[in-house]
Amino acid sequence: MSDAGLDPVIHAPARLRVVATLAALPTGDELSFPKLQKLLDMTAGNLSTHLRKLEDAGYVSVTKTHEGRTPATYLALTARGRSAFEDYTTALNTLLKGAAG
């Protein structure tokens, strides 16, 4: 965590968008890579780079499979990722309340 209590892995704008989008799904649900890419309007390379950092932190699970002969990648927020996002939003709300007061 940074001095402000904001997780630097999540705090990067692109990763925050990824985590927030996956957090909106019911626990255990997955989103396909192309669907997430389209929702966030990110290039495949940019999204892959940020997903790798989130996966390395244990925040996102990546499932690679095949649908027929076509490879498919599905993404989900892990329990650790969901908890980190909740901690992040709590810390951010605390900072915003402090700035307003």
Helices in the chain by DSSP H: which ranges? 8-11, 13-23, 33-40, 44-56, 79-100
Q: For position 56, what pLDDT does the model report?
A: 98
Q: For position 61, what pLDDT does the model report?
A: 98
**The CATH number of domain 8-93 is 3.20.20.10:** no
pLDDT tens sequence for the chain (101 residues): 444 679 999 999 999 999 999 999 999 999 999 999 999 999 999 999 999 999 999 999 999 999 899 999 999 999 999 999 999 999 999 988 887 76
Classify residue 48 by burial, with Cβ atoms within 10 Å: 0-12, 13-18, 19+.
Answer: middle
- Domains of the chain, residue spans: 8-93
